[in-house]
Amino acid sequence: MIRKKYVVLAVFLLALLSQGFAQDNTSESASSYDIRDSSLIPAKRIPQHNEFLNNAYPFPARPRDEWEIGLKGGMSTVSGAVRAWLPTFGVGLHVRKSLGYVFSIRAEYDYLSAKGLNWQPSFTGYSANPVISQYYNANIREPVFYNYKTTIQELSIQGVANLNNIRFHKAKSSVLFYIFGGVGVATYATKYNLFGANGQPYDYSGIISQFGISGFTYENRKAIKSALKNMMDGSFETIAQRDPSQPKLNGVPIIPVFVVGPGMEIKLSDRFNIGIEDKISLTKSKLIDGQEWQETGSPTVHAMTHDDVYNFVSVGLNYNLGKRAVEPLWWINPLDYAYSEINAPRHMKLPKPVLDDADGDGVTDQFDHEPNTPAGCPVDTHGVSRDTDGDGVPDCKDKELITPTQCQPVDADGVGKCPDPACCKEINARLDSGGLGTMGRARCFIGDLPSIVFKGRTVTLSKDGKALASTIAEKMRNNPACKVAVIGYGESSKSAQQLSWDRVNEVIKYLVEKEGINSDRFIFRYGQTGGDENTIDIKDGTGEEGPNTVPAPHPNLRKR
């Protein structure tokens, strides 16, 4: 019957364990609590919490956490001069509070019942026992089988050290292991079963006759214990030997104890867990089991050299109690917040990003398709030097900013060589040979020249306009026999005529003063028709006649 009860209990515990693991897995990846929640912080730690939220202090305040209360039950035994008589039972109640993520303190009360029965007889060892020696005579070697039953009540304060809640590769643990140690006091009330139902001391001579002097071996222990239990009535009516030097509480001895042991907790939910542990209590008494004398084989005996120890193996159910608090800190991985913040920052004060731009073109290196653009070269959105005419020479180095496609490929300076029109080939040939006689002219190979565009009503050359003017000047220097006509448009009004004059004058002035071209090589034309008023065309004027300077048509409208 007892075995069936243990089987049912084991099945029940396994069911609870499986439920606990299943529930814990659902929250394995979840954070323990919101580190920014002020309602979880005690008032005395609010200043630290505020400093943390304002990034003035790097460590978060320790949150308020729940208390643990637990109820346990199990088996208690005494290690002494008398062998344990199983089964036994014990119950306990504890209250536990964390001191940090590893250490906690626990107050525990245990009520334990233990029994013992020796299956080997004692013939002389009881001679110094003032209780047993009243009823049995060691001088004639009357056999006695030591037995006892004791009730122990223990109150202790314990320090508990958690072993595995700090995890480096997992958010939290569903099973915790811990060790504990502490001090306390205990009372024990030990009794013997010396008398049968007839009120007389047990006569063990029949047991001796049944098994013989040499029959009390380990192999026969079960049969011997069965025979003894059949003989005894289980009344445990006689108070056992006590140490008169020990203090008493309510008529029973009270002694100091030191408790140590290992344990484990299995999480069922954020509120409930199962605890399994083995608590060992070290005493300064040899009489927990009622016997302190060694068996010597003669009436002269000696006291035991070691004190009695009792232990309590238990399984319990623990509950976390508290409001506006996180679960007990020993269930929380203190690295959880740090790893979560590294993975997905919510509070971290991130530095302003520094985006390198090695070539200083305004496009950061990670997006720059041309990381070594020369200084001063305009670039596009990809950091590539602009090349307006697509001739392969960037604008900042191109001496002919707009080279027609038919004039490409170009040289290293971006200057193309445009082919002569078919109609000019014969004329050029005759010019080269002097076939036009006195109407001939010096050979000019200056080719097509770019136009310069002004914006709005400005008369000042832009950066691009100056670059084009430099290209024109270079061609004129390479063709000293050539003259060029500088042509402006706009005849619709006086202001348009004056604006056209100002722009033609500005181009010629720049080429003469800045580029060093002789003013005699220019033909000044303004107010022409058939063109864009904002465009100044530059054309080969070799063989043409015209002034290189003319007075302003409307000086009062001249741009300053």
Contact 526, 558 (CB under 8 A): no
* Residue scoring higher pLDDT (94 or 427): 94
Q: What is the model's pLDDT at position 558?
A: 81
* 185-213 average pLDDT score: 92
Q: State the virtual CA torsion across 129, 133, 138, 141 in degrees, nearest 10.
A: -110
Instruction: Assess contact for 102 and 122: CB atoms under 8 A.
Output: no
The pLDDT, as a whole number, for residue 510 is 95
262, 178 contact by CB (below 8 A): yes
pLDDT at 16 over 60: no
Give Cα 399 distance to the centre of its chain: 58
CB count within 10 Å of CB 426 equals 10
482 in Cβ contact with 446 (< 8 Å): yes
CB 302, CB 137: distance < 8 Å: no
pLDDT of residue 399: 74
The confidence band for 262, taking pLDDT boundaries of 50, 70 and 90, is very high
Domain locations in the chain as residue ranges: 65-343, 352-386, 420-557
- Residue written as tokens 């990034």? 55
* Tens-place pLDDT, residues 89-128: 999 999 999 999 999 999 999 999 999 999 999 988 888 8
pLDDT category of residue 297 using cuts at 50, 70 and 90: low
Going from the C-alpha of 82 to that of each of 35, 78, 291, the distances in angstroms are 56, 8, 7
Q: Looking at the chain, how many residues does it have?
A: 560
pLDDT at 367: 82
Kindly tell me if the per-residue pLDDT of 490 is higher than 90.
no
Most confident of the following: 49-53, 87-91, 527-531: 87-91
Mean pLDDT of 431-448: 60
What is the rounded distance in angstroms from the CA atom of residue 120 to the CA atom of residue 208? 10
Q: Quick check: 384 pLDDT over 60? A: yes
Are 132 and 360 spatial neighbours (Cβ–Cβ below 8 Å)? Answer: no
Residues 355/361, Cβ–Cβ less than 8 Å: no
pLDDT, residue 30, reads 47
> Higher model confidence: residue 485 or residue 302?
485
Give the separation between CA 272 and CA 266, rounded to whole angstroms. 9
Q: Provide the whole-model pTM.
A: 0.60
E strand spans, 163-269: 175-192, 238-239, 248-249, 252-267
Two tokens, residue 287: 């009489």
Binned at pLDDT 50, 70 and 90, residue 420 comes out as low
3-state SS, one letter per residue, for 470-525: HHHHHHHHHCCCCCEEEEEECCCCHHHHHHHHHHHHHHHHHHHHCCCCCHHHEEEE
Q: Is the pLDDT of residue 474 over 80?
A: yes
**Tokens found for residue 257:** 């104890």
**CATH code for the domain defined by 420-557:** 3.30.1330.60
pLDDT at 430: 60
What's the sign of the alpha-carbon dihedral 322, 326, 327, 329?
A: negative
Q: What DSSP letter does each residue of 135-169 carry, written as one string?
A: TS-GGGT--B--EEEEEEEEEEEEEEEESS---SS
pLDDT score for 432: 54
The model's confidence at residue 31, banded by pLDDT at 50, 70 and 90, is low
Res. 389: pLDDT tops 70: yes
Mean residue pLDDT across the chain: 85
Share of the chain above pLDDT 70, in %: 88
- For residue 298, the model assigns a pLDDT of 61
What pLDDT, on a 0 to 100 scale, did the predictor assign at position 152?
Answer: 96
Confidence of residue 29 (pLDDT cuts 50, 70, 90): very low
d(CA 371, CA 356): 11
Task: Provide the residue type at 502 as one letter.
Answer: D
Strand 522-528 and strand 484-489: the pairing is parallel
What residues contact residue 162 under an 8 Å CB cut-off, 6+ apart? 101, 102, 103, 104, 176, 177, 178, 330
**Which one-letter DSSP state was computed for residue 555?**
G
Q: Is the pLDDT of residue 22 over 70?
A: no
Name which of 12-21, 314-323, 456-465 the model is least confident about. 12-21
pLDDT for 443 equals 66
Angle of helix 494-513 versus helix 463-478 axis, rounded to 10: 60
Cβ atoms of residues 46 and 62 within 8 Å: no
Confidence band, pLDDT 50/70/90 cuts, at residue 258: very high
Beta bridge partners of 186: 154, 255
Q: Which of 93-107, 138-152, 438-452, 536-550 has the lowest average pLDDT?
A: 438-452
- Asked whether the predicted pLDDT for residue 441 surpasses 90, the reply is no
Task: Count how many Cα atoms sit within 13 Å of the Cα of residue 464 in the half-sphere of its side chain.
Answer: 14
CATH of 65-343, one of 2.40.110.10, 3.40.50.12280, 2.40.50.140, 2.40.160.20: 2.40.160.20
Integer CA distances (angstroms), 317 to 14, 98, 111, 269, in order: 14, 18, 17, 12
Judge whether residue 38 has pLDDT over 90.
no
Do the Cβ atoms of 401 and 385 come closer than 8 Å? no
- Give the per-residue pLDDT at 423: 64
Q: Return the sign of the alpha-carbon dihedral for residues 427, 433, 439, 440.
A: positive
Chain position carrying tokens 């409001």: 323
pLDDT tens track for 219-253:
999 999 999 999 999 899 999 889 888 899 999 99
Looking at the DSSP bridge assignments, the partners of residue 93 are 71, 109
Whether the Cβ atoms of residue 309 and residue 269 lie closer than 8 Å to each other? no
Query: At 476, phi and psi to the nearest 5?
Result: -70, -35
